[in-house]
């Protein structure tokens, strides 16, 4: 898979190493695209969303509806991400003593188990042949054990909700028609209630349990997603042109 530079750090690498250490997957390879050459199909989908979102959106519910109705295949699904797990705090004391350095100069990485130790290697470009260093780098301390990872703390103060909602009621809602304003106020208040109640629920939020993840089955064959099957079945015409007069 291709990844963005924000994922090129020891916390992401350690998470993937943990999956290998727990035999959830056997090998992970990551390829990072070069600067100026990062365009891909995902960018094309987001360009469609950018055009769709250039309209008046008065509430969180209206935003969700606009995304769901975007002309994208497969049809967009919107899910709320109300919390994340604090992997960084969990894994930091479990990282190897010698920190990882100079990985920003590499574009391809591999993690795999060797003699019951997960080793990390890299190469400058994906087309290069040799992974380096040959002996590999250890990212996790010996005896690594992955206990449940709790949810991250909520920092609602950084949202400054009082200021946000003060501006909504004094500057934005008065610009809406009566019915639209009623819907918008209800939607924003619903979001406010959810956000303000999150810290109270933190201790009851389910932790991340890597041990509960399904393990890779090397015998399974790749499955083509339903929305791509039509392209797999399409017949295409033969290439036409002046044939070379050479033996193949």
pLDDT digits (tens, 9 = 90+) for 170-191: 999 999 999 999 999 999 999 9
- Share above pLDDT 70 across residues of the chain, in percent, rounded to a whole number: 93
Q: What pLDDT does residue 247 have?
A: 63
pTM of the full structure: 0.79
Average pLDDT over residues 156-170: 94
Q: What pLDDT does residue 2 have?
A: 45
Q: What pLDDT does residue 24 have?
A: 93
Radius of gyration of the chain (CA): 24
Q: Which residues contact 226 (CB under 8 A, 6 or more apart)?
A: 74
Instruction: Name the pairing type of β-strands 108-114 and 132-138.
Output: unpaired
Q: Which residues contact 105 (CB under 8 A, 6 or more apart)?
A: 124
Q: What pLDDT does residue 248 have?
A: 52
Average pLDDT over residues 19-26: 93
For residues 82 and 156, give the distance between their C-alpha atoms in angstroms, rounded to a whole number: 12
Quick check: 162 pLDDT over 90?
yes
């Amino acid at each position: 898979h291709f990844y963005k530079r924000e994922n090129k750090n020891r916390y992401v690498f350690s998470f993937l190493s943990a999956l290998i250490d727990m035999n959830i997957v056997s090998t992970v390879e990551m390829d990072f695209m070069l600067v100026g050459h990062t365009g891909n199909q995902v960018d094309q989908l987001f360009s469609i969303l950018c055009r769709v979102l250039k309209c008046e959106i008065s509430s969180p519910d209206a935003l969700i509806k606009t995304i769901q109705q975007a002309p994208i295949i497969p049809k967009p699904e919107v899910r709320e991400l109300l919390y994340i797990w604090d992997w960084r705090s969990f894994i930091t004391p479990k990282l190897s003593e010698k920190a990882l350095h100079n990985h920003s100069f590499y574009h391809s990485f591999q993690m795999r188990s060797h003699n019951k130790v997960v080793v990390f290697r890299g190469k400058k470009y994906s087309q290069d042949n040799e992974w380096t260093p040959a002996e590999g780098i250890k990212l996790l301390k010996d005896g690594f054990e992955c206990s449940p990872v709790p949810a991250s703390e909520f920092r609602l103060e950084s949202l400054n909700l009082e200021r946000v909602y003060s501006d909504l009621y004094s500057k934005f809602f008065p610009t809406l028609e009566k019915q639209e304003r009623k819907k918008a106020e209800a939607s924003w208040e619903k979001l406010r209630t959810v956000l303000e109640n999150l810290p109270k629920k933190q201790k009851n939020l389910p932790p991340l349990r890597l041990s509960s993840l399904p393990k890779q089955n090397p015998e399974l064959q790749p499955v083509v997603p339903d929305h791509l099957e039509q392209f797999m079945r399409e017949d295409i015409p033969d290439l036409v042109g002046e044939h070379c007069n050479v033996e193949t």
